[in-house]
Structure formats: structure tokens, C-alpha cells
Amino acid sequence: MQNNLEVSFNSPQCGWMSIGLNDGVSEFHTTTAHTPHEKALPELLLILNELVGNASEFSAEKEYLLYWNRNPEEFDFRFVQNGETLLLEIYQYPTGNRETGESEKVFEHLGKTKEVCAAFYQTFAQLYEDRNTDEFEFHWRQPFPYKEFAEFENKIKSREQ
């Protein structure tokens, strides 16, 4: 659990965005599409909001699943929180059928919930800061998830105090 997670979402271009996760042991890089899972970014932020809000040693185990795609490949981002610990797994499927026998685990990270959420926060904060310069909404072809990001930022900053 001592490996720090690094998360990167590069500025979108033509409806595609390069994302990466690396903890020094496990590494995942892909390019994701804005469709058909057009709510992937706001849903990711909703999951992160839940995770940061539940990050106490007394929290019961909870699981969250996010669907995202590269076209034709699809991904499941699986978050399993048990108290202050968080397991993040990414499964890749060759198509949108999501047949379990065809999935392959392509990334796994076990760490503290607040550290994982902080890594995602840094990435979203950078996307937010660069949104106008990079013409985020034009290039991603989806609106920036302002409301979800603001809630996430407030929760992260209140946990730092």
C-alpha cells in the first residue's frame, strides 16, 4: 500500500482523451472516447465524492463501478472501499458486450482512499484550470462536470483541514 498513485487525463482532442494511472508497480494507459458513455467524467466524480465522504476506518465495504470505452474496447473501473482502504481495478473488454469470460484485468492499485482521491483531484483540478485554454467542451464534445467537480473539490479541501 505504500505505492502512490499518479493519475493523468490529457486535454481532450476530437472527442478523445488520453488517460493514465501508474503506481510504480501497475501501469495503465489508454485513449478513451466521449461516447457512448458520455457521463463517464461526471459519474467518476460522483464515485470519488462518495469515496472521499466514506473514508473512515469504520465504514462498511462498498463497491462502485464506472463504465468507460475506447471503441470498440470497453473498460470497467471498479472501486472497492473497505474503511480507509481502496482497491481500484480496471477491466478491459474487447467489445461493449462485457462478457465476464472475455474481460482482462489491466490495472490494480490498493491504497488509502484519501490518497487515491487526492491523485484524481490533482488531475481534475488541472483539467479545470486548463478548460478554457484547451477548449475542453469543444474538444471533449461534452460539458465539463462543474457541479460534480466543485463538490469533489470542497470535500477534498475540507478533509485537508
**61: exposed, middle or buried (C-beta count within 10 Å: 0-12, 13-18, 19+)?**
exposed
| pLDDT tens sequence across 45-97 | 999 999 998 777 677 789 999 999 888 899 999 999 998 999 999 999 988 78
How confident is the model at residue 131, as a pLDDT? 94
The pTM is what?
Answer: 0.92
Q: Which fold has domain 6-160?
A: Secreted effector protein pipB2 fold (3.30.2450)
The per-residue pLDDT for 1 is 45
| 79-113: b (≥16 Cβ within 10 Å) or e | bebeebbbbbbbbbbeeeeeeeeeeeebbbbbbbb
pLDDT the model gives residue 95: 83
Give tens-digit pLDDT for 16-55: 999 999 999 999 999 999 998 999 999 999 999 999 987 7
* % of the chain with per-residue pLDDT over 70: 96
